[in-house]
């Protein structure tokens, strides 16, 4: 079973690669845009830290780590998640989701791996450079254990991002006109560029428990800095697992709704 | 599997699909009111239909727009969940969408495409090979056969966006049949195609059906498709079956007359026509007479003997006319059409 789906993933990635080769100009525009956005992302930090040494306990280079992580994840969001999101909404609108549902493979897997924009991977490289720069400014490097914990949390962050995305597209089955969905999703995700401790009161609760953006960038950054306690790490992994199960359930309900309502 | 289902490829009993839809009248006030309260209405897209199709049969599924044809096809393909009733396709309950079931069927929709727009159709074929887990040897063999039957040649290697509508439809059929399905649901497969392309697709569907013994259920607005492919038709209107049986007897029941078309070799005064039978129309050196079946032989004999003829042909009335009459009768609520209704 796992081998079959790995083979299918290979086939889907191959197609995505071939399609993106048709649009080679995107590589250059995406690359340039990515550099531009890297600058835009760092600018507010520079402004804030121009007047103070720390913000909610985070120094400038430490906050840069959060931004670096955010940029890396944004590369994944734009490269692998958003293209599928746009494609599924298009499928529902045009009625071609029928073809996906008629294939003898899990429909969730098929729609989740249908489209990639590999050129957007440039963002991820930018994110890594930013992380390296931040550690140079900190004048120390993370321990191997910290890197390992951060990589585990990267997987958690991607799984969480994916679950949030799956919940969002499931909504598309009820409300077909979702042109702004990707935009809304991007805007919420944008808040993850700040360490979650920057937010106070209701916002902090919202971004930790309801839309757990803390898991996306703050916790992996803390792990890299060696400041994340094991209990919080475990909470992140279990929380993500719960989100994943919830997302799968909502998706299944959505497919059932599609099957019983459309013609 | 119940014994009753064992012999049939498709078995449908009292199948229903009802939808709840919101209804509101036109105008701003109605729009505002509908925000607070949305009256619902039940649409009976499919309302208690029953039929069964044997393996290898080719059946035409006919009806006016909104009759319930596509809904029924989607129910049979497992894309929709039935409101009530029983159905089996190739031994499976479609709505469970088991992988084994999906490997046995295919759905081709003339108005929707599965081909990847930016890549040559060959890439879609390759993706379907992975999805259906078709062994390489069988894939090469089937692709070879389909390429020959559909005359695909170089078009499978050109980007889909550069192909004509007809070429794309050929490739759609190829993509849909690579896994050698036992049951083909074809929803308006020839829509928008020119006459020669329609002809070649019909020839292909018939060849596939004969070579692989596949069951074919076809919907089409082109009566020529139905005439060429389907010995049996199921006519559906407003969610219920109006006729199920042999195409020839449907035509004979609804329009018992035969059309006798003649071309004269010398001018004939129009006043003469009345002597031979009911005249449908006359123009220049041509005339068309209508004869009831039992008077046909005598009528034709008289025309041959008494009129100066260059040519004579005997035909059934065009299927389009027959269908128009059937649907008009159904709209007037005159009860089910005569014939072999289930």
**Which residues 6+ apart lie within 8 Å of B196 measured at CB?**
none
Judge whether B71 is closer than 8 Å to chain A, CB to CB. Answer: yes
Chain A neighbors of B99, CB-CB under 8 A? 104-105
pLDDT at B143: 95
Report chain A's mean pLDDT, rounded to a whole number: 83
Number of domains chain B contains = 2
CATH number of residue B281's parent domain: 3.30.70
User: Who has greater pLDDT, A180 or B95?
Assistant: B95
Query: What residues of A are in contact with residue B102 (Cβ under 8 Å)?
Result: 102-104
Mean pLDDT computed over B121-134: 95
Confidence (pLDDT) at B56: 95
For chain A, the domain total comes to 1
One domain, residues B230 and B260: no
Range scoring the smallest mean pLDDT among B50-54, B109-113, B268-272: B268-272
CB A101 to CB B103 under 8 A?
no
Residue with tokens 């969610």: B239
Question: Is residue B161 located within the same domain as residue B182?
Answer: yes
Count of other CB atoms within 10 angstroms of residue B270:
10
Q: Is the pLDDT of residue A177 over 70?
A: no
What is the pLDDT confidence band of residue B193, given thresholds at 50, 70 and 90?
A: confident
Express each pLDDT in B151-186 by its tens digit: 888 899 999 999 999 899 999 999 999 999 999 999
Burial readout A154-170 (b: 16 or more C-beta within 10 A, e: otherwise): bebbbbbbbbbbbbbbb
A1 touches chain B (CB under 8 A): no
B134 with B239, same domain? Answer: yes
Angle between helices B121-131 and B136-150 (to 10 degrees): 140
pLDDT of residue A261: 54
Give yes or no for A9 touching B (CB within 8 A): no
Helix (H) or strand (E) holding A87: helix A82-94
Shared domain check, B216 and B84: yes
User: Measured between CA atoms, how close is B334 to chain A, in angstroms?
Assistant: 28
The DSSP letter of residue B337 is P
Query: Would residue B327 count as lying in a domain?
Result: no
Residues B218 and B268 in one domain: no
The DSSP annotation for B29-41 comes to HHHHHHHH---EE
User: Residue A121 is encoded by which pair of tokens?
Assistant: 């991977």
SS (H, E, C) chain A: CHHHHHHHHHHHHHHHHHHHHCCCHHHHHHHHHHHHHHHHHHHHHHHHHHHCCEECCEEHHHHHHHHHHHHHHHHHHHHHHHHHHHHHHHHHHHCCHHHHHCCCCCHHHHHHCCCCCHHHHHHHHHHHHHHHHHHHHHCCCCCHHHHHHHHHHHHHHHHHHHHHHHHHHHHCCCCCCCCCHHHHHHHHHHHHHCCHHHCCHHHHHHHHHHCCHHHHHHHHHHHHHCCCCHHHHHHHHHHHHHHHHHHHHHHHHHHHHHHHHCC
Q: Which residues are registered as beta bridge partners of B237? A: B240
Q: What pLDDT does A117 receive?
A: 80
Do the domain assignments include residue B342? Answer: no
CA angle B195, B201, B205 (to 5 degrees): 145
Nearest CA distance, A15 vs chain B (angstrom):
7
- Together in a domain, B89 and B222: yes
Whether A211 and A243 have beta carbons less than 8 Å apart is answered as no
Does any domain span residue B11?
yes
Taking each helix axis from N to C terminus, what angle separates A82-94 and A144-171, rounded to the nearest 10 degrees?
A: 20
Helix, strand, coil percent values for chain B (each to nearest 5): 40, 30, 30
Residue identified by tokens 């992975």 is B130
Which CA distances in Å does A156 have to A57, A150, B43? Answer: 24, 10, 45
Domain co-membership, B235 together with B261 = no
More confident call, B341 vs B61: B61
Owner of token pair 């254990």: A145
A15/B116 Cβ within 8 A: yes
Q: Indicate the pLDDT class of residue B335, thresholds 50, 70 and 90.
A: very low
* End residue of a domain, out of B250, B266, B291: B250
Residue B146 to residue B190: CA distance in whole angstroms:
18
Contacts of B157 (CB under 8 A, 6+ apart): B120, B122
- Among B198, B231, B250, the domain-final residue is B250
Q: Based on the domain organization, do B88 and B206 belong to the same domain? A: yes
Q: Is residue B201 located within the same domain as residue B260?
A: no
Structural domain harbouring A92: 2-261
Q: Supply the mean pLDDT for chain B.
A: 86
User: Is residue B331 situated within a structural domain?
Assistant: no
For residues B279 and B297, the answer to whether their CB atoms sit within 8 Å is no
Model confidence at B321, in pLDDT bands (50, 70, 90)?
confident
Shared domain for B168 and B260, answered yes or no, is no
Preferred mutation among A3, A24, A98, A102 to probe B, highest tally of B CBs within 10 A: A102
Q: Read off φ and ψ for residue B53, nearest 5 degrees.
A: -125, 130
Whether residues B298 and B237 fall in one domain: no
B108 in reach of chain A (CB within 8 A): no
* β strands within chain B, DSSP E: 10-22, 40-53, 58-62, 84-89, 105-109, 183-187, 215-219, 232-237, 240-246, 257-264, 278-283, 286-292, 309-315
The pLDDT tens digits of the residues spanning A43-78 come to: 777 777 777 777 777 888 888 888 888 888 888 888
Mark whether B216 and B70 lie in a shared domain. Answer: yes
With beta carbons under 8 A apart, name residues in chain B contacting A24.
none
Cβ <8 Å between B131 and A104: yes
pLDDT at residue A182, rounded to an integer: 66
Say if B340 falls within a structural domain. no
Q: What is the mean pLDDT of residues B83-108?
A: 94
Task: Identify any residues that bridge with B278 across adjacent strands, giving them in sequence order.
Answer: B290
Range of the domain at B168: 3-15+52-250
- CA B127 to chain centroid: 29
B18 touches chain A (CB under 8 A): no
pLDDT at B218: 94
């Amino acid at each position: 079973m796992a081998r079959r789906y790995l083979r299918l993933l290979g086939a889907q990635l191959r197609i995505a690669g071939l399609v993106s080769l048709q649009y080679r100009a995107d590589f250059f525009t995406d690359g340039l845009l990515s550099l531009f956005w890297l600058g835009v992302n760092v600018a507010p930090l520079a402004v804030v830290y121009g007047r103070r040494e720390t913000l909610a306990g985070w120094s400038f280079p430490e906050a840069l780590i959060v931004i670096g992580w955010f940029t890396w994840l944004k590369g994944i969001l734009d490269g692998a998640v958003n293209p599928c999101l746009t494609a599924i909404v298009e499928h529902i609108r045009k009625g071609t989701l029928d073809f996906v549902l008629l294939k003898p493979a899990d429909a969730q897997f098929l729609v989740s791996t249908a489209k990639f924009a590999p050129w957007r991977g440039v963002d991820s490289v930018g994110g890594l450079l930013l992380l390296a720069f931040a550690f140079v400014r900190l004048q120390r490097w993370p321990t191997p254990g910290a890197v390992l914990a951060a990589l585990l949390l990267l997987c958690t962050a991607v799984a969480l991002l994916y679950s949030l995305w799956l919940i969002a597209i499931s909504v598309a089955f009820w409300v077909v006109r979702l042109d702004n969905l990707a935009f809304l999703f991007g805007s919420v995700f944008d808040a993850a560029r700040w360490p979650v401790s920057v937010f106070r009161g209701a916002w902090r609760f919202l971004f930790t428990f309801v839309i757990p953006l803390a898991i996306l960038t703050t916790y992996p950054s803390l792990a890299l800095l060696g400041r994340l306690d094991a209990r919080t790490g475990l909470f992140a992994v279990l929380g993500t697992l719960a989100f994943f199960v919830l997302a799968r359930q909502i998706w299944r309900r959505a497919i059932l709704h599609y099957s019983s309502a459309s013609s | 599997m119940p014994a009753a289902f064992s012999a049939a490829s498709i078995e449908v009993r009292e199948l229903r699909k009802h939808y709840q839809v919101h209804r509101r009248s036109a105008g701003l006030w109605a729009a505002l009111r509908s925000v607070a309260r949305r009256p619902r209405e039940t649409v009976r897209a499919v309302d208690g239909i029953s039929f069964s199709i044997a393996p290898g049969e080719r059946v035409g599924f006919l009806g006016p727009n909104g009759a319930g044809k596509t809904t029924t096809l989607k129910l049979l393909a497992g894309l929709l969940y039935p409101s009530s009733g029983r159905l089996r396709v190739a031994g499976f309950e479609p709505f469970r969408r088991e992988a084994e079931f999906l490997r046995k069927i295919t759905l081709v929709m003339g108005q929707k495409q599965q081909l990847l727009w930016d890549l040559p159709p060959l890439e879609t074929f390759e993706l379907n090979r992975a999805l259906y887990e078709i062994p390489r040897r069988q894939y090469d063999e089937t692709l070879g056969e389909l390429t020959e039957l559909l005359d695909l040649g170089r078009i499978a290697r050109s980007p889909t966006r550069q192909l004509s509508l007809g070429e794309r439809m050929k490739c759609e059929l190829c993509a849909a049949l690579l896994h050698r399905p036992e049951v083909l649901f074809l929803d308006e497969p020839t829509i928008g195609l020119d006459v020669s392309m329609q002809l070649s697709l019909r020839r292909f569907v018939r060849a596939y059906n004969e070579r692989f013994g596949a069951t074919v259920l076809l919907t089409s607005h082109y009566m020529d498709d139905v005439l060429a492919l389907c010995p049996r038709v199921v006519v559906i209107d407003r969610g219920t079956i109006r006729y199920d049986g042999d195409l020839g007897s449907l035509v004979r029941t609804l329009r018992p007359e035969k059309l006798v078309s003649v071309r004269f070799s010398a001018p004939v005064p129009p006043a003469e026509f009345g002597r031979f039978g009911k005249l449908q129309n006359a123009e220049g050196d041509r005339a068309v007479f209508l004869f009831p079946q039992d008077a046909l032989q005598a009528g034709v004999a008289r025309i041959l003997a008494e009129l100066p003829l260059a040519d004579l042909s005997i035909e059934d009335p065009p299927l389009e006319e027959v269908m128009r009459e059937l649907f008009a009768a159904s709209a007037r609520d005159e009860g089910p059409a005569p014939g072999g209704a289930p």
